Amino acid sequence: MVDDNGRRGGLLAWQWTLYPTGHTTRFNLLIHILTVPIFEIGTLTLLGSLAIAPLYALVGLAMMGGAMAAQGLGHARESQPPVRFRGPVDVISRILAEQWIAFPRYVLTGGFTRAWVRASPGSLTLRKRKYSARS
């Protein structure tokens, strides 16, 4: 089944099929295991700021932005680049889906552990990889 966005099975199914190929280096995996909780706390802080104090919205946004920046560094070291975003709504929906659904699912189903074991210890390097053309 292809939905109206051309993503087989919808966003979550589509993202899930691509997840293992975009998370293969220990560097990227380590960044994700450290920053996804920061992003999630930042999201909750942002939402909670509506009830507590609007100033906390800046703290939440900073946490979310910092987590995204770090994850961008991790993805830059993968041999398979992320699929380009289609626009602002796609950015928000894909990021929220990855942080709140795909990555936790990846960890809970053992995907993270399998990827860590398969990755070479040398993939924990800070050296940026060059992307190959995506078909």
pLDDT per residue, tens digit, the chain (135 aa), is 334 456 889 999 999 999 999 999 999 999 999 999 999 999 999 999 989 999 999 999 999 999 999 999 999 999 998 999 999 999 999 999 999 999 999 999 999 999 999 998 876 765 555 544 444
> Is residue 20 domain-resident?
no
Q: How many CB atoms within 10 Å of residue 103?
A: 23
> Is residue 52 domain-resident?
yes
pLDDT of residue 110: 97
> Is residue 112 domain-resident?
yes
* Amino acid at position 85, single letter: F
Tell me which residue range forms the domain holding 114: 33-118
Give the pTM.
0.84
> Is residue 86 domain-resident?
yes
Half-sphere exposure of 88 (CA within 13 A, CB side): 0
> Is residue 27 domain-resident?
no
Half-sphere exposure of 133 (CA within 13 A, CB side): 1
pLDDT of residue 41: 98
> Is residue 134 domain-resident?
no
Nearest to 40 by CA among 107, 86, 115: 107
> Is residue 94 domain-resident?
yes
Dist. CA 25–CA 128, nearest whole Å? 11
Dist. CA 35–CA 99, nearest whole Å? 9
> Is residue 8 domain-resident?
no
| Domains contained in the chain, number | 1
What kind and span of H or E run contains 70?
Answer: helix 56-76
